[in-house]
Structure 1
């Protein structure tokens, strides 16, 4: 296991001001303990290194995103490693273990920081004009580190269930004797840790007064970020995968934690913003809704992976499924196409759908027009997209979409991939945002209040339906409210659909379906749409179902065989 003492031989470091627009990296080579302890900036660089270890999914699987292992998308290149999740190639010897290695390495760094780099006073710097401000930030680092350590453990327990646990620096020999700590105990640790630091960590970096350094610090964890981790952890701990006996007290804890978070967001003046503003290169400015995100350096790799084939520089990539397209309801009625009288499954019914559809997915006939109209996709493409078979952007071209759709969400249309004109832009991966919190609260309070979606109490005055309706009524979406008098079965179906639409391609679907233990309903197949063009210029649409492999052992990842070889105390997850 990679739970070992970290020796910082060469560490990419940055002054952790978390500037509103970028992080500037510097190289230091003499990073032994004594050297680092001499300077605020050097210690701050250790914290920055931990923030860099946060997860994001702008194509982690050789361009494929985790959504392509779900019913959200299909990757256009069948040889991609994402197919291992559902073609039988996934195993303890092919465990998809990058998260294991990355998070345990980060946890080891957190442990080392807490043991070796807290309690410093920097006496050589005490006469500097900014000494008091720098010490103020330094004293906050320990709470940021404890949050980050808890977050890394959440990633691990979500993926593996029971996991090895340590909160102190260990020798390799110690690390290789750890057994797996029960998942509920790890969840409890995360929640307790959040409770212990929520009133210690800086509450709002924009309101530091005399302690401000004159720079925006919105990329750092604050009190609301800590509450967000607590609330999401409580939801997972209460979910069927980890709570098979449906212990009601766990749902109460989840509802209470999400209510606490919503109250804190309201107190801070946060609110739901336009859906369109959440996923572009300036989305980090949407601080009214985005609680926490990982800011990546300028790049164009995500656009390269996902701009349509046939557009210069585009490779196709993560193609939304017809399954996902079907989830977008008609705006006038709030009904899916398959809930609408006269529905023909071989017709896509694109018109008058939920506005989130057009903000998430590119379809046949989109793009083109003048640049002034702002409808081109991407902005440098002058041609209308042809995703039908034989079209300029369709099959049988290598990389042509197998579903007839391309991904729009998180792709920036202003990125130019043309030779000699290439441009790059910033990308911020959203880790926590208010829209998700309303949905998490709705699920938690629904389960706690006897699966009555309209129930309220003095402690929980907002019903599950009311919370969801806030998300649907946001600016630029304006979808009809959930109907009155739904059965619990009808509510649960509609809630899952709302979550799929609202959080599409944000990394939730893979984990939501697992924690619900409903993969047999959603992950055994996907639907594609095959489009052909007739001589007269109209189109034929044919729905095609593609089967995928699912085994219940896949609810949890396999423990890497390489780790079990090093540590005989690591048991394997069931079925692997």
Structure 2
């Protein structure tokens, strides 16, 4: 039997498709890999295909992190929407499309990475005479596999760990692995990537490929996430106190001098300044191609009526996902540069005035594409400001460093936002609030709350204050994790047990 490895039990099939990155590549068909991996370019196309799984990752961060957090009070006024169950902590979201996509999308990416790695092992030396290129391709694939598994463990906790091609019969015997086992693979892959990837790429066609500093940054975040509290839920936090391990990696990025703190906040997200010196790793898109491989995340949290009010075609955001009053009121009056770029407060369309606010950080009205699935902007997964603020977080958790270093980092960020008056003696909750405003609409908030140990207190208090419609369920720690998709549970009852609370 031909080996296949889709890993989502409902789609245990081999999948190869064109890469959606701005990388020099051609479409890959679903032909058998036995006949595909026969040339140097085939292997390059294979690793490019592994990047394909990143295409929906930004949408996932907005749907599952921003919407789950205290940044949005996402109660629909136009019928039942998928995001309502996410926002309101419904127990019946195992069939939610966003939850299902998080599982299947990541495992499709893992399949492609494993497929490339397996063929490198079997044929790579014979086909690719350049040992340096072989190592780089392996490191890229392992970086991506680790990226996808890290995404899975943060959403679902225990997940099946698969490092090779398996038959459908084998897949039906593979249950969920302990979180420690998932992390062991993630860390091994990222350590290899950090040691083997180049610091940068010379060719323009290679823009967007993972670098050693991207691997170090994600590995640092892995150590920080493992160091978070366990909550007794078999989730991403293991209470391991690896803050110094993370700090060492973050300092290596800082000391490399490869990246700089942008002078202007708006420049980070400028359509004409992609791949700027703030960007350590981003999800790249290419517009105007067939098939369409642009981005969809810019409009995801934006109501269609706002686009109409600006004379633009509707995009698909449908009704508004309002920003919470709690977040709106948290901005200081001097925060004059971040808030207007990130948030649209009110508009009028066809004589109807909308007073609620929504995120518009990545929207440029002069660049609205003809196809709503083809926006021409990348999504930043890790940027230099994040590295600086993660360093401050490590120090506050007891890693080597001083309060003065923490304060200096926060004041640097605040000054760029327009706040000249320095602050001192920053605490962990204060740092998280500063991160909340700095990275609003970038999908970090939920993970920040979980990692920092603040999620129970913050979300419980927030629901009490914000839920004027009385539609949200009381917060419980089991909701830190999402449910295993019902479609996966149904394939072979008993193989996966559902996460508690659902």
TM-score by length of 1: 0.71
Counterparts in 2 of 1:242 and 1:275: CA distance versus 1, 3 Å:
farther
Aligned residue for 2:436, secondary structure, equals helix
1:79 aligns with 2:80: yes
Q: Which residue of 2 aligns with 1:469?
A: 411
2:90 alignment partner, SS class: coil
Q: Which runs of 5+ in 2 are unaligned?
A: 1-6, 288-293
CA drift of 1:567 comes to 5.7
Aligned pair in 2 of structure 1 residues 243, 296: CA closer, same or farther (>3 Å)?
farther
Residue 285 of structure 1 aligns with which residue?
A: 275
Q: Higher helix fraction: Structure 1 or Structure 2?
A: 2
Q: CA deviation at 1:443?
A: 1.6
Residue aligned with 2:283, SS: strand
Residue 164 of structure 1: SS of its match in structure 2? coil
Paired residues of 1:143 and 1:200 also in contact (CA < 8 A): yes
> How far did 1:25 drift?
6.2
Matched, 1:43 2:43: yes
Say how many residue pairs are matched: 472
Give the conservation status (yes or no) of the 8 Å contact 1:293–1:428.
yes
Work out whether residues 239 and 516 of structure 1, in 8 Å CA contact, stay in contact via their aligned partners in 2.
yes
Q: Deviation at 1:243?
A: 8.4
In 2, Cα distance between the equivalents of 1:479 and 1:78?
44
Secondary structure of 1:362's partner? Answer: strand
CA separation in 1, counterparts of 2:124 and 2:174?
Answer: 35
1:435 paired with 2:435, answer: no
Deviation at residue 439 of structure 1 after TM alignment:
1.8
CA contact (8 A) 1:415 1:422 kept: no
Question: What does residue 514 of structure 1 align with?
Answer: 450
- Deviations along 1:186-218, whole A, 9 cap, x unmatched? 224322332233222222213xxxxxxx43523
| Residues 78 and 265 (structure 1), Cα distance of their counterparts in 2 relative to 1, 3 Å cut | farther
Q: How well do the aligned residues superpose, as a CA RMSD in angstroms? A: 3.8
- Tell whether the 8 Å contact from 2:156 to 2:482 is kept in structure 1 after alignment: yes
Q: 1:7 to 1:558 in 2, by over 3 A?
A: closer
Q: Which runs of 5+ in 1 are unaligned?
A: 207-213, 332-352, 365-384, 396-402, 450-455, 530-542
The answer to whether the 8 A contact 2:103-2:152 is kept is yes
With normalisation by structure 2, the TM-score equals 0.81
Which among 490, 496, 510 is matched to residue 432 of structure 2?
A: 496
1:205 pairs with 194, 201, 206, which one? Answer: 201
Query: How far apart are 1:430 and its partner, in Å?
Result: 1.0
In structure 2, how many angstroms separate the alpha carbons of the residues matched to 1:189 and 1:204? 25
SS in 2 for 1:470: helix
Q: Secondary structure at the match of 1:73?
A: coil
- Matching residue within 424, 441, 449 for 1:483: 424
Q: Distance in 2 between matches of 1:113 and 1:139?
A: 12
- Structure with max Cα Rg: 1
* Change in 2 beyond 3 A, CA 1:492/1:139: closer
Distance 1:281 1:38 in 2: 38
Alpha-carbon distance in structure 2 between the residues aligned to 1:421 and 1:448: 49
Q: Aligned pair in 2 of structure 1 residues 38, 189: CA closer, same or farther (>3 Å)?
A: closer
Which residue of the partner structure matches residue 361 of structure 2? 409
Render the CA deviation track for 1:456-514: whole Å, top value 9, x for unaligned. 55xx797333333332234x545533224x6xxxx233112101101101111122223
Q: Which protein is richer in strand relative to its size?
A: 1
Q: Which residue is 1:324 aligned to?
A: 327
